[in-house]
Amino acid sequence: MSPFTHLIENLLIEKEDVDYLPIFTREGTSWGKLNKVFGGELETIIHKINEAIAA
């Protein structure tokens, strides 16, 4: 595995991250709550962030 591939795989944000990463869980945040904050566009926003990371 190239270092670039390793970084992409470890920097990408996924929907499941909200359920177990301490930055979210310690605040009692769920996907639904976070998505509401972003006007129902969280999945699209995360997709765009991941595309930028992988570029």
The H or E element that residue 26 is part of is: none
Q: pLDDT tens digits for 6-40?
A: 666 777 888 888 888 888 888 888 899 999 999 99
Higher-pLDDT residue of 26, 55: 26
Q: How many helices (H) and strands (E) does the chain have?
A: 5, 0
Quickly count: other Cβ atoms within 10 Å of residue 49's Cβ: 13
Q: What is the pLDDT of residue 25?
A: 83
* Alpha-carbon distances of 17 from 1, 2, 3, 12, 51, rounded to whole Å: 23, 24, 22, 10, 17
pTM over 0.85: no
